[in-house]
Amino acid sequence: MGQSTEAGGIAFATTQWSVVLTAQGLSAAAQQALEILCRRYWRPLYGFVRRRGFGPEEAEDLTQAFFARLLERRDLDAVRREKGRLRSYLLVALKHFLANEHHRAMAVKRGEGRRVISLEELRSGERADFEPADPVMIEQIYERNWATAVLEQVLARLKDEYRAAGNAALFDRLQELLADEPDRPSQAAIATELNMSENALKQAFHRFRLRYRQLLREEIAHTVATPSDIEDEVRHLIAALRS
Query: In the structure, how many helices (H) and strands (E) does the chain have?
Result: 11, 2
49-81 pLDDT per residue, tens: 998 888 888 888 888 888 888 777 655 556 555
Q: What whole-number distance in Å separates Cα of residue 139 and Cα of residue 145? A: 10
Q: What's the confidence (pLDDT) of residue 1?
A: 36
Instruction: Give the DSSP H or E segment for 64.
Output: helix 56-71
pLDDT tens-digit series, residues 170-201 = 999 999 998 877 788 999 999 999 999 999 99
Q: Which pLDDT band, with edges at 50, 70 and 90, does 164 fall under?
A: very high
Query: Mean pLDDT lowest for which of 4-13, 74-83, 144-153, 211-220?
Result: 4-13
Write out pLDDT tens, residues 130-139: 666 677 889 9
Mean per-residue pLDDT over the chain, rounded: 80
In which region does residue 66 sit, left (phi positive, over 0), alpha (psi from -120 to 50) or beta (all else)?
A: alpha
Mean pLDDT of 33-42: 84
Higher pLDDT, 216 or 40: 216
pLDDT of the residue at 2: 39
Q: What is the number of residues in the chain?
A: 243
Cα distances (angstroms) measured from residue 97 to each of 50, 104, 113, 115: 14, 9, 18, 17
Domain boundaries in the chain? 6-242
